[in-house]
A and B are shown apart, each in its own frame.
Chain A
Amino acid sequence: MERHVGKRLRIPCGVISSPIHVQDFPIGYKPFLAYEGTNQVADLVYNSFTLGMEDHLLEIFGGHDTKEVITKGMSADSDMNWTKDAQAELNKVPGFVRGKIKRNTEKFARERSLSEITVEVMYAAKEAVGA
């Protein structure tokens, strides 16, 4: 339960006790008692805190959700001019294929010496690859 509280409050959390969860039955050797236990506990504590620091880095660099970052990166090395409507249309495309569609559309436009990509150009590019 407190793990979820931790998530909500953005507090890192290590699990040290039941109530049990499937993750509390690791396949690897993870005792809590005796001397190997001291090592495991030290790792658990230290890793929880380290992740706490990484958490700040994640905020600075835009989080785990990298779709936004990829889109930005793609447009930075593109010399094509996308109209507002076309950009909006592109953003509707699911993130995992967005980059590919953008590259293919730009390739299509370049081959036809089009300097501006409109929604019409996008549909034409789509037609051209038979999709």
Chain B
Amino acid sequence: MKLAYWMYAGPAHIGTLRISSSFKNVHAIMHAPIGDDYFNVMRSMLERDRNFTPVTISSVDRNVLARGSQEKVVDNITRKDAEEHPDLIVLTPTCTSSILQEDLGNFVQRAQLDAKGDVMLADVNHYRYNELQAADRTLQQIVQYYIAKAKKKGELPIGKTANPSVNLIGISSLGFHNQHDCIELKRLMAELGIEVNAVIPEGASVHELKNLPQAWFNLVPYREIGLMSAQFLQEEFGMPFVDITPMGVVETARCIRKIQTTLNAQGANVDYESFIENQTLYVSQAAWFSRSIDCQNLTGKKAVVFGDNTHAAAMTKILAREMGIHVVMAGTYCKYDEKWFREQVSEYCDEVLISDDNGAIADAIARHRTLCHFWHTDGTPCG
């Protein structure tokens, strides 16, 4: 019997809250029992965010259980709307409150009559989706909502920016090293002569979302969050997207080459080959390092990689291709996206493990340890 759940990816409402609270001036109302509201703690004590977490719990208590929660939820939404004037209020249930099967969509419609800001119900199946899937879906839902709104008002921008430009999609609160990755990606784009049109959702205003279509392409650096939004924008506006994670020398080069193809297909004339060569040979220390005697000490050593799809796949490739380390097992807890992971890593490791059962993962690591002469693991998540 599996006793520990949500050890790797959290429940769906955490994903929704990560997206809503990444945006500027967006408030979330959780329809949840007390105890499901630890998101505030994650933001303040893990991420150490300096602002108050814009999340309010509309608690499911004995009164609610006795007579339904419509009045309370609607009151909470309109009160927050009046107090803080958010651009958008996102209502989300949790797995627990979903059991009540109340018509939250109807509550949102009721609240919207009084609220000055926008009100939205996070459209996520809390029994089927985990944190990462819910985050991906909520971001797409918000993008779709504001694109539709702008379209209706005739406020969508016409045409593209004069110079090549990009939207960075998927940078979010409580993401692994996301803020630093974002700075680095902006730096890379600047060096490639590409303007950053928007970064979503972190630090973005929902009012900026209507300007997304004016960028030349979308960059989705993480497999888990942003892909659905990029696919929506592709379907709606024919915007191309690049979803190669620029992690490691080889994949960064592949990502830049894909960007080059994407821009040149739209009439630009860019050639990034000399940039890639210069960065790889002289700027990045990693390529030089992997040829050095220090790194040769690592040759033939063995490793297990485990993590989310993005990082576990990228690390497996780096260890195998760039550092000469033998990856005996590569694993992910993103079970819902297993096929992609297998495609990415199969040729770089002996064995693939798809699991979110921490006991089974520990056993697999221990089994490999007894098989290996030299054993080193790298790239395991923590907790």
Residues of A within 8 A of B (CB): 1-6, 9, 11-26, 29-39, 41-42, 44-46, 48-49, 52
Q: Is the beta-carbon distance between B247 and A33 smaller than 8 angstroms? A: yes
Set of chain B residues within 8 Å of A2, measured between Cβ atoms: 306, 361-362, 365, 377, 380-382
- Rounded to whole angstroms, the CA-CA distance of A16 and B303 in the bound complex is 13
Q: Which of A2, A9, A21, A33 has the most CB of B within 10 A?
A: A33
Set of chain B residues within 8 Å of A25, measured between Cβ atoms: 46-48
Closest chain-A Cβ to B209's Cβ sits at a distance in Å of 23
- Rounded to whole angstroms, the CA-CA distance of A21 and B45 in the bound complex is 10
Count class of interface residues, chain B: 35 or more
Is B148's beta carbon under 8 Å from chain A? no
Is B311's beta carbon under 8 Å from chain A? yes
Closest chain-A Cβ to B103's Cβ sits at a distance in Å of 33
Residue pairs across A and B with Cβ atoms less than 8 A apart, 12 shown, are A1-B362, A2-B362, A2-B377, A2-B380, A9-B365, A11-B375, A25-B48, A29-B183, A31-B180, A35-B249, A44-B378, A49-B298
Is B2's beta carbon under 8 Å from chain A? no
Residue in A16, A21, A31 whose CB lies within 8 Å of B305: A16
Closest chain-B Cβ to A106's Cβ sits at a distance in Å of 47
Q: Is the beta-carbon distance between A33 and B318 smaller than 8 angstroms? A: no
Residue in A3, A4, A12, A32 whose CB lies within 8 Å of B247: A32
Set of chain A residues within 8 Å of B311, measured between Cβ atoms: 16-17, 32
Chain B 284-313 interface 0/1 with A at a Cβ cutoff of 8 Å (1 = within): 111101100011011001000111101110
Q: Is the beta-carbon distance between A1 and B7 smaller than 8 angstroms? A: yes
Query: With A16-B379, A17-B379, A39-B286 in contact, do A1 and B184 touch (Cβ < 8 Å)?
Result: no
Main SS class of interface, A: helix
Query: With A35-B252, A38-B284, A45-B319 in contact, do A24 and B176 touch (Cβ < 8 Å)?
Result: yes
Q: Is the beta-carbon distance between B184 and A33 smaller than 8 angstroms? A: yes
Which residue on A lies nearest to B132, using beta carbons? Answer: A18
Set of chain B residues within 8 Å of A52, measured between Cβ atoms: 376
Q: Is the beta-carbon distance between B369 and A11 smaller than 8 angstroms? A: yes
Residues of B within 8 A of A (CB): 7-10, 42, 45-48, 174-177, 180-181, 183-185, 187-188, 221, 245-249, 252, 279, 283-287, 289-290, 294-295, 297-298, 301, 305-308, 310-312, 314-315, 318-319, 323, 325, 358, 361-362, 365-366, 369, 375-383
Which residue on A lies nearest to B365, using beta carbons? Answer: A5
Which residue on B lies nearest to A5, using beta carbons? Answer: B362
Which residue on B lies nearest to A27, using beta carbons? Answer: B48
Q: Is the beta-carbon distance between B377 and A41 smaller than 8 angstroms? A: no
Which residue on A lies nearest to B187, using beta carbons? Answer: A34
Set of chain B residues within 8 Å of A21, measured between Cβ atoms: 46, 382-383
Instruction: Report, nearest first, the 5 A-B pairs whose CB atoms are least far apart.
Output: A17-B307, A2-B380, A38-B286, A31-B184, A17-B311
- Rounded to whole angstroms, the CA-CA distance of A3 and B307 in the bound complex is 11
Set of chain A residues within 8 Å of B188, measured between Cβ atoms: 34-35
Set of chain A residues within 8 Å of B366, measured between Cβ atoms: 5, 9
Q: Is the beta-carbon distance between A34 and B184 smaller than 8 angstroms? A: yes
Q: Is the beta-carbon distance between A37 and B358 smaller than 8 angstroms? A: no
- Rounded to whole angstroms, the CA-CA distance of A30 and B181 in the bound complex is 8
Q: Is the beta-carbon distance between A45 and B307 smaller than 8 angstroms? A: no
Residue in A5, A18, A36, A46 whose CB lies within 8 Å of B295: A46
Q: Is the beta-carbon distance between B308 and A17 smaller than 8 angstroms? A: yes
Query: With A29-B180, A31-B181, A37-B184 in contact, do A45 and B378 touch (Cβ < 8 Å)?
Result: yes
Q: Is the beta-carbon distance between A22 and B377 smaller than 8 angstroms? A: no
Q: Is the beta-carbon distance between A30 and B286 smaller than 8 angstroms? A: no
Q: Is the beta-carbon distance between A49 and B47 smaller than 8 angstroms? A: no
Q: Is the beta-carbon distance between B378 and A14 smaller than 8 angstroms? A: yes
Q: Which of A13, A15, A42 has the most CB of B within 10 A?
A: A42
Set of chain B residues within 8 Å of A5, measured between Cβ atoms: 361-362, 365-366, 380
